[in-house]
Chain A
Amino acid sequence: MPLLDIKNLTLEINNGAQSIKALDKINLTVNAGEIRALVGESGSGKSLIVQAIAGATPGNWHLTADRMSWNGENLLSMSVEQRRKVLRKDIGVVFQHAIASLDPSVTLGEQLEEALPDELIDGKWFWQRAQQRRRAVISTVHKVGIKDHNQYLRAYPHQIPTDIGQKLMLAMALVNQPKMLIADDPTRGMETTTKVQVLKLLSRLNQTRSLGILFVSHDLLAISSMSHTMTVLYCGQTVESGKMKQIRKRPLHPYTKALLDSAPSFSKDLPPKSQLSTLAGTIPTLQHLPIGCRLGPRCPRAQRACVNVPAVRKIHDHSYSCHFPLHMEKI
Chain B
Amino acid sequence: MINILLRYTILFTLTLLALSAMSFTLIYLFPADPITNLTGITPQNTIQHDALVRQYRLDSAYLIQFWHYLEQLFSGNWGYSLISGEPLKDEILYALPATVELSAYAMLIVVLIGIPIGCYSGLRAYTNADFAINSISVSVYSVPVFWLAVIFILTFSLQFGWLPLSGRLNLLFDIPNHTGFLFIDILLSNEPDKSLAMRDALLHLILPTLSIACISTAAIIRVTRRSIIDVLNQPYITAAKARGLTNRQIFFRHVLRNALLPILPLMAMQITTLITNAMIVETLFSWPGIGNWLIQAIYQRDYSALRIGMLAVSTLVVIITIAIDLFNRLIDPSREKFESVTI
Q: Which residues of A contact B (CB under 8 A)?
A: 51, 54-56, 58-59, 80-81, 84-89, 91, 93, 95, 97, 100-107, 114-115, 117, 156-158, 169, 172, 176
The interface stretch among B40-48, B233-241, B282-290 is B233-241
Once the chains are docked, how many angstroms separate the CA of A114 from the CA of B332? 20
Q: Which residue of B lies closest to A83 (CB)?
A: B244
Judge whether B261 and A84 touch: CB under 8 Å: no
Complex formed: what's the CA distance from A59 to B261 in Å?
A: 25
From B247, B253, B257, B258, A114 is in contact (CB under 8 Å) with B253
| Inter-chain contacts of A158 with B (CB < 8 A) | 333-334
Q: A88-B244, A104-B333 are in contact. List 6 more A-B contacts (CB 8 A).
A: A80-B247, A87-B241, A101-B235, A102-B239, A105-B333, A156-B333
Bound CA–CA A81/B236 (angstroms)? 19
Chain B contacts with A in 222-276, Cβ cutoff 8 A: 233-236, 238-247, 249, 253-254, 257-258, 261
Q: Does B242 contact A56, Cβ atoms closer than 8 Å? A: yes
Q: A103-B240, A104-B236 are in contact. Are A84 and B257 (CB under 8 A)?
A: no
Taken together as a complex, chains A and B put the C-alpha atoms of A117 and B332 apart, in Å, by 28
List chain B residues, Cβ under 8 A from A115: 243
Q: Which residues of B contact A (CB under 8 A)?
A: 126, 233-236, 238-247, 249, 253-254, 257-258, 261, 332-334
Please name the residue on chain A nearest to B249 by beta carbon: A114
Given known pairs A105-B257, A105-B258, A114-B253, the reply for A87 and B240 (CB within 8 Å) is: no
CA distance A308 to B242 in the complex (A): 36
CB distance from B128 to the nearest CB of A (A): 15
Residue from A86, A95, A117 within 8 A of B238 (CB atoms): A95
Q: List 10 A-B contacts (CB under 8 A).
A: A54-B241, A86-B244, A100-B236, A103-B236, A103-B258, A104-B333, A106-B257, A115-B243, A156-B334, A169-B239
The 9 residue pairs across chains A and B that have the minimum distance between CB atoms: A88-B244, A54-B242, A101-B239, A56-B238, A87-B244, A93-B242, A100-B235, A84-B244, A156-B333
Choice from A56, A81, A97 contacting B246 with Cβ under 8 Å? A81
Closest to B243 in A: A115
- For the A-B complex, the count of residue pairs with Cβ-Cβ distances under 8 Å equals 79
Partner of A97, one of B235, B244, B332, B333: B235
Which residue of chain A is the closest to B125 with respect to CB atoms? Answer: A59
B260 to chain A, nearest CB (A): 10
By a CB distance below 8 angstroms, the chain A residues around B244 are 84-89, 117, 176
Q: How far is the CA of A93 from the CA of B333 in the complex (A)?
A: 26
- A87 to chain B: which residues have CB within 8 Å? 241-244
Q: Are B242 and A100 in contact (CB under 8 A)?
A: no
B241 contact set on A, CB distance < 8 A: 54-56, 84, 87
Inter-chain contact A54/B236, CB cutoff 8 Å? no
* In the bound complex, CA of A89 to CA of B242 (Å): 11
Known interface pairs A81-B246, A100-B234, A114-B245; A95-B239 also in contact (CB < 8 Å)? yes
- Bound together, the chains give a CA A104 to CA B336 distance in angstroms of 12
Closest Cβ of chain B: how far from A11's Cβ, in Å?
15
B243 contact set on A, CB distance < 8 A = 87-88, 93, 114-115, 172
The answer to whether B333 touches A84, judged by C-beta atoms less than 8 angstroms apart, is no
Provide the residues of chain B in CB contact with A102, threshold 8 Å.
236, 239
- B148 CB, min distance to chain A CBs, angstroms: 36
**B334: which A residues are within 8 A, CB to CB?**
104-105, 156-158
**Within 8 Å CB of B240, what residues of A?**
103
Contact B239 A93 (CB under 8 A): yes
Taken together as a complex, chains A and B put the C-alpha atoms of A81 and B245 apart, in Å, by: 9
With A81-B246, A89-B244, A114-B243 as known contacts, state yes or no: A106 contacts B254, CB within 8 Å: yes
Name the CB-closest residue of A to B334.
A104
Complex Cα–Cα for A201 and B101 (A): 62
- Tell me the complex Cα distance, A85–B254, Å: 18
Q: Note all chain B residues with C-beta closer than 8 A to A117.
A: 244
- A101 to B242 alpha-carbon distance, docked (Å): 10
Closest chain-B Cβ to A63's Cβ sits at a distance in Å of 15
A176: chain B residues within 8 A (beta carbon): 244
Once bound together, how far apart are the Cα atoms of A220 and B144, in whole Å? 64
A81 to chain B, nearest CB (A): 7
